[in-house]
Structures are given as C-alpha cells and as structure tokens.
Structure 1
Amino acid sequence: MIDRTALFCDIPLAARIERAEEEFIAVWNEAVRRRRGPAGGFAMPVAGGVASYAEPDSPINKVAGLGFAGRPEPAEFDKIEQAYAERGAPVQAEVASLADPALLEVLAARGYRLVSFENVLGRALGDAVELIAPPGIEVRPCGDDEFEAWVEVVVEASLHPDTQGVPWQEDFPREILENAERDTAGLVRRYLATSDGIPAGGGSMRIADGIAQLTGAATAPAFRRRGIQSALLAARLADATAAGCDVAVITVQPGSKSQQNAQRRGFDLLYHRAVLTSVS
C-alpha cells in the first residue's frame, strides 16, 4: 500500500469550496428561470453566499455558502425569509462547520432548528489517476445523442437510493429530478456507465477555480455492487486531473455507500455542513 498524506482542510480551502458551491447554485438557478420564466424564482446574494428559490420542491431551494464573507444583517434575513414565505416554502440554510460560528447563533436566535448533516469529502489531485474497468463495464463522456438515456438511468437510480448510512432528509418527485438534470445540462460534464452496452449509471462533474465538483452519480438498482460507482469516480478524477484541478470534492450523506466508495478512492472528510430550517 502506498503511503498517502490526508488532505487537510483549513478555512481558506473551505471558503473556496463553499464559494464554488454557491456559484453552482446561482447559475443553476438561472437555468431554471430561463426554463420557467423570470417570475417566481430568485437568487439573492447574501454575505458571500446565495439564497436560492428555483421552483416548488427543487433541490436548490436553499441558502448556501454563508459564513466566510461577513455576517448577514438582520434586514437581509428579513428579506430572505419574506421571499420564501411568499412562495410557501421554508428557509433551509446550510452552514459549513468551518464557517463563522456566530452564524449558527444568528440562526438559532431567529428560531432555526437543526434537521440534518452532510459530509464534504475532498481529495488532492495532481498525480495520475488509475482508471477502473470492471468486467463488462464502460464509462465514457455522455454525448448529446445519449442524453435522454443518461437522464433516465440517473433519475431512476436516484428514486431508489442505497439504504446504507443516514438517509437524505428530502425526497424529490421524478419530475423535479428530471428538471434538475435537464437544467444543469450545460453546466456540468456528464458521464454514462454501461454494462454490456446497457445504460447502468451516470455521473456528472463541474470544474470551477481549480475545484472538481463531483455533482452526482447514481447506479440503477439492478447493476449495483459491480464497481460502477468506482469506475465513474475514477473517470471523473482522471479528467479533473487532466484539466489542471488541484482538488476534487464530493458531498455525501454520513455513513453512506457513497462516502465509503469515495474514501476507498483516497477522499478524506474535510468538514460537515449543518442543515437548518426555519420553524413555521
């Protein structure tokens, strides 16, 4: 076994990762508003982060990236909470454990409660990445002619998540998941995994500021435990390295199969995100 130094995450690196996340949510929100029209959605900058509402039940209806560029003023939160209330939605705020601790005090004072955690994992890049090719499995960039097959397999897999570890707090309807994948079509690189030519899984990646954001991967239930997740991970890491990225990050549920697979491929736990919601 080759010795490896774990990736240490200090506050500047966490701020860089959270900034990339905030930027991704903002451009994703723009894509939703292009599809639905400008009315209804919003993306408000707030203290270095973003308050996003895209459409009902959207996975990007959240406040993200806070705690690294000053504290939001009470008036800012008043405006944000009013905007969500007008759309009948609670405010969900994600706060990194390396963010300004005073932010949690601010949210607690406003009545927010903790509902879940996410783990942010990272891996330093630079060395060559060994690709993984399980028997019968092929991973390749997804072309436009395969986009519909990619959407179908990723959405179907997402509707039947692996049960290991802490489950995601939210479940999303098929229509919302399909919208989300289509809206990000021009924002991420897509990868299709096939098993003997049959679509079996898919993944995506976004590159920003030298960070490879692994923005999702899923394997259809019938093809799980065949190494597809590891193959998708290796393919994206290899491309991120070739693109000059110095770090790759992935967000997972604590104790999940995704976390286990990532740590086997050299990812380290960098920090947690606390997920808090407003009390109606």
Structure 2
Amino acid sequence: MPMLVSKHIAMLIEDCIKQSHIHVTRLYPAQAVLEIAGGAACFSGTDSFLTQVIGWGFATERDRFGDEITSIEQFYRHQGNPQVDIELCPLVSHWLPLQLGKRGYRLTEMNTISIFDLRQQAIQRPDNTPCLIRPVQRSDLGAWARVVAHGFNCLDAEEHFYHYACAPNVTAFAAWVDNNLVAGGTIAIHNGIADLGVTSTLPLYRGKGVQKALLTSRLHFAKEQGVWLAAVTTAPGSVSELNCQKVGFHCAYTRVKLTLSLE
C-alpha cells in the first residue's frame, strides 16, 4: 500500500528542498536569504532557478499573511529581482493561494512531487545497461555540470548546476558509457529525507535505461545513508515522471509556482 501523504509528510519534503536551496544560495557571491514562517525566500541572481520562495505557507496564519507576504515582496524588490516566485505546496491552508491570487499572483508552473518509501519498498535491480553509475569526484564537477546543462538544453544554467552540486549534504552522481560522462543527477539529504534532482541525459543516450539506473543508484545510496523517504520533482506527464513511476515512485502531490511581477 502506498504511503499516506499527510501535511506533516509534505512539510518534511518541502523542508528538505528548502534546506538545499539555502545551502546552495549561500555559495553565491551575491546572495540573500530571508527565512520566514518556516519557509525561505532565496536570491542567488535574477537568472537563477533557485531564486524563489520554498517551504513557506504551512505555518502562516490569516492574521500574519499580510505582513509575511509584504516582507517577501520587499525582500525581492530590495534585491532588484523583477518578480516573486513562490513554490506552494497544496497542503497549506486552502485560503492562502486564494489570497495570493487577490494580490495578483498567477499560476506559472506545476510540478509533480513523487515519493519512495525506503522502509517499505524494495529497490528494483537496474536493467542491464551499458553505463557505470557512481558519485562524482570534486575534480569532475565542472564536466558534470556541463553535461547536465546540455541534457536540459539550458547551457546558461551550467554555473547554477555546479553550485548546487557543491552544496553541503548534496552528492552528484553521473553515468559513464565507454568512459564518457553522458548523464547526471543529484541527491540532497536532510533529516532522513532525500531529494533527487538535477537529472538529465545527453540526447544520444536517452531511451537506454540510463535515467532509471541513476534513480536506483541514488536510492541505494540514500538507504545506505539511513534515509527513510526519497522525493523527486518532475514535470507532470514527462518521460522523467514515467521513469520515476517505473522504479516505484508514486505521486504525493502537485506543487504549483505562483508568480507576481514587480515591474
């Protein structure tokens, strides 16, 4: 039976992701973090995918909402960011997204948060693939970030992927085929929860079981580290989401990104 997803479980998952955001943000020369009501507003540049609010909303009371959201908006204005992006879990109070809508926030993205219960579920044996999966040495992180950026077709994000892989409690994994680095992914571990992310494969090596091998290798690593719950974020209906389902992940909730323009 799949794990029941309570508000407490969702808070643990979002807190793990939040901690990674904070640690990575601290590595940037021009950065700022506002920790507020159990969440965090992070800024690591106007072009960074980490410049957003994460983990906020669970502890927000109606009478504190106005002060909290005003502080968040002022924080990003002070950083010179053109917008506020809030990653909002649907298990927060039902009135909160409605109030954000009244302030002009609009839905700009949706992501599936899927989970794997390492206490109850068996990790599948990887299929026979021509790839070797192992953690990435520090000296190889530059090449790793380059491959991941190419896999996402987002070359401008190479520096951000590199910083993410260098953060505390984050381990980068890579897939090698014939001694060529062809795919990569990360695992961030905080308080017994693992967040599997930043996963991409070079186009030539897709459809060969590489991503599945990366997933199962990181799950084995997580279990060795004493992790009891692993989570992964994917685009709804994507190949990545299907790959996660094939190894045993199931949907916990769909998180939304709400955006307000400050210009």
Q: TM-score, normalised by structure 2?
A: 0.91
Q: Which amino acid aligns with 1:90?
A: Q
Gaps (5+ residues) in structure 1?
160-171
Alignment CA distance shift 1:135-1:82 (3 Å): closer
Q: Show the counterpart of 1:22.
A: 18
Q: Show the counterpart of 1:61.
A: 51
Q: Distance in 1 between matches of 2:68 and 2:57?
A: 14
Q: Select between 208-217 and 124-133 the one with higher mean Cα deviation.
A: 124-133
Q: Distance in 1 between matches of 2:82 and 2:75?
A: 9
Q: Distance in 2 between matches of 1:186 and 1:92?
A: 22
Q: Which amino acid aligns with 1:151?
A: A
Q: Show the counterpart of 2:217.
A: 235
Deviations 1:16-71 (A, max 9, x none): 11111111111111112xxx24xxx3211122111111112100111111221123
Q: Which amino acid aligns with 1:255?
A: G
C-alpha deviation, 1:132, in angstroms: 1.5
Conserved? CA contact 1:134–1:231, under 8 Å: no
Q: Distance in 1 between matches of 2:167 and 2:242?
A: 29
1:22-101 matches, cutoff 5 A? 22-32=18-28, 36-37=29-30, 41-71=31-61, 72-86=64-78, 87-101=80-94
Q: Distance in 2 between matches of 1:88 and 1:232?
A: 35
Q: Which amino acid aligns with 2:138?
A: D
Between Structure 1 and Structure 2, how many residues are aligned?
256
Deviations 1:190-222 (A, max 9, x none): 111011221110111011111111022110011
Q: Select between 19-28 and 202-211 the one with higher mean Cα deviation.
A: 19-28
Alignment CA distance shift 1:76-1:186 (3 Å): closer
Q: Show the counterpart of 2:185.
A: 203
1:116 aligns with 2:106: no
Q: Select between 227-236 and 101-110 the one with higher mean Cα deviation.
A: 101-110
Conserved? CA contact 2:129–2:209, under 8 Å: no
Alignment CA distance shift 1:43-1:191 (3 Å): same
Gaps (5+ residues) in structure 2?
none
1:130-141 matches, cutoff 5 A? 130-141=124-135
Q: Which amino acid aligns with 1:258?
A: S
Q: Distance in 2 between matches of 1:271 and 1:130?
A: 23
Q: Distance in 2 between matches of 1:225 and 1:267?
A: 19
Q: Distance in 2 between matches of 1:52 and 1:6?
A: 33
Alignment CA distance shift 1:131-1:189 (3 Å): farther
Q: Show the counterpart of 2:149.
A: 155
Q: Distance in 2 between matches of 1:147 and 1:53?
A: 23
1:91 alignment partner, SS class: strand
Q: Which amino acid aligns with 1:179?
A: E
1:217-228 matches, cutoff 5 A? 217-228=199-210
Q: Distance in 2 between matches of 1:186 and 1:88?
A: 23
Q: Show the counterpart of 1:168.
A: none
Q: TM-score, normalised by structure 1?
A: 0.86
1:21 alignment partner, SS class: helix
